[in-house]
Amino acid sequence: MAIDDITQKVSDRYARAAATGEQMCCPTGYDFADLKSFVPEEVLTISYGCGTPAGLNTVQPGETVLDIGSGGGIDCFEAARRIGPTGKVIGIDMTDKMLEIASRNAPIVAANLGYAASNIEFRKGLADAMPVEDASVDLIISNCVINLAPDKRKVFRDMFRVLKPGGRFTISDIVADQVVPQYLVHDSAKWGDCLSGALQVQDYIGGMVDAGFHAVHHMKSAAWQSIDGIHFLSVTLTGYKFTPVTDDAVPLYATLRGPFSTATDELGQQYRRGLPQSIDARTAQLLQSPPLQSLFVIAPAPAFLDATDPRWCAVLPESTPCLWEGDYAILTGPLITAEDDDHHQYYRGVPLEICSKTSRVLTQDVYRPHFTIYNRASTAVEGTEVSCSLTGGCC
């Protein structure tokens, strides 16, 4: 199916939903009781998505926020409340009916918020060619829309273009744990259902990194549904467009604290827990970003750590039998590869089957922010206990 055909069919599907009140099947996470206090009912009834990127405390007062695929405007209106009257929100959508509804309700929302005038502007455009100036946006949000774009890598590049240096994105979307087969890719009805266009997790995150973003990591994730053995996941991701740096700063050293025993960052540098590594200014900028700073000790002198140091972090597996229960773990944190203390090797975006013992490790507080864990079993599992061993056991 041609790209233009996909775009037109998706636009027609959402225009029909806006006109008829059809319920789209993407999962939502809105607090409608709260939103009803300032958002008109007309908008709430046509709001679709798979997360709440504007409601995760990522929107700061006075910022310029861009919403890709703004639809009826619900995320723009929530962003407008959070940035206050001094900020600005730009909503981009390709569907005339959605833009009409959003624009009509913008003054009502402004009045409900007590603003003298609306601080939202809605523009018609595509996600991969946005009518937005270069380096003009502090934060990009999007809610289950990039999934619908035929060329997602082009979308990621355009996102990088419009963000200011130091800007960031928080987007919710549907991804798949394996390649979506061609019979689904060419099923036009399933494009609007957020299925046909889903990328594998590693391709989605990889496309963002290739576009220039760094420290890409998930903030929320959950299993959505499975079709023909393909598991679709709802994820909310954040990443950064770093400001340029020079290497004339004081030399620094990075020591991996854990909980991982080894790790590789997005620039390809490898670390082993407790052993300091010399790093350049660009790497220091990456490791000092919010999702990575707790994993490392950054200092002007080498810092060697061992298990007696309070900065050392490790979660050892229990010395007990384990069960295979259908659980899988996907590294969705800001590392390319990582290894735990039971010698499991994780590659970002690639599902790894894990036993019950490993599941308990990865759901500990220090590991949880870095993994999406879901279950592939279609029925209850009645497995027997097995012993984990480095010489050929269950893991």
Residue 142, phi then psi, degrees to nearest 5: -165, 145
269 domain residue, yes or no = yes
pLDDT of residue 379: 83
Q: Are residues 207 and 315 in the same domain?
A: no
Cβ neighbours of 312 (radius 10 Å): 17
Picking from 195, 214, 240, the residue at the C-terminal end of a domain is 240
Q: CATH no. for residue 123? A: 3.40.50.150
pLDDT of residue 389: 58
Q: Residue 23 to residues 26, 161, 168: CA-CA distances in angstroms?
A: 9, 34, 31
394 domain residue, yes or no = no
387 domain residue, yes or no = no
Rounded to an integer, what distance in angstroms lies between the CA atom of residue 394 and that of residue 87?
54
307 domain residue, yes or no = yes
Please list the ranges in the chain whose pLDDT falls under 70.
Answer: 1-29, 189-193, 383, 387-395
- Give the count of domains, the chain: 2
120 domain residue, yes or no = yes
386 domain residue, yes or no = no
| Residue 311 half-sphere exposure toward CB, CA atoms < 13 A | 17
Q: Are residues 261 and 163 in the same domain?
A: no
Q: Are residues 170 and 254 in the same domain?
A: no
Sign of the C-alpha dihedral computed for residues 142, 144, 149 and 152 taken in this order: positive
Rounded to an integer, what distance in angstroms lies between the CA atom of residue 125 and that of residue 91?
9
User: Residue type at 204?
Assistant: Y
Q: Are residues 162 and 253 in the same domain?
A: no
- What is the Cα gyration radius of the chain? 22
Domain span at 159: 3-240
Yes or no: say if 278 and 270 are a contact pair by the CB < 8 Å rule: no
Q: Are residues 157 and 259 in the same domain?
A: no
Rounded to an integer, what distance in angstroms lies between the CA atom of residue 324 and that of residue 354?
7
pLDDT of residue 56: 73
Output the pTM of the full model: 0.90
Q: Residue 179 to residues 185, 201, 378: CA-CA distances in angstroms?
A: 10, 9, 19
* 3 state DSSP class of 72: coil
Rounded to an integer, what distance in angstroms lies between the CA atom of residue 41 and that of residue 250?
56
219 Cβ contact partners less than 8 Å away, ≥ 6 residues apart: 56, 170, 236, 237, 238
Q: Are residues 194 and 109 in the same domain?
A: yes
pLDDT of residue 391: 46
What's the chain's length in residues? 395
- 237-285 pLDDT tens trace: 999 999 999 877 778 999 999 999 999 999 999 999 999 999 999 999 9
pLDDT of residue 190: 67
278 domain residue, yes or no = yes
Q: What single string gives the DSSP state of each residue in 204-229?
A: HHHHHHHHT-EEEEEEEEEEEEEETT
Nearest to 340 by CA among 321, 364, 376: 364
Q: Are residues 124 and 262 in the same domain?
A: no
Q: Are residues 202 and 63 in the same domain?
A: yes
348 Cβ contact partners less than 8 Å away, ≥ 6 residues apart: 202, 205, 206, 331, 332, 333, 335, 336, 337
Cβ neighbours of 189 (radius 10 Å): 10
Residue located via tokens 């944190």: 333
Q: Are residues 260 and 335 in the same domain?
A: yes
Rounded to an integer, what distance in angstroms lies between the CA atom of residue 144 and that of residue 148?
8
393 domain residue, yes or no = no
161 Cβ contact partners less than 8 Å away, ≥ 6 residues apart: 134, 135
Cβ neighbours of 28 (radius 10 Å): 17
283 token code pair: 């790497």
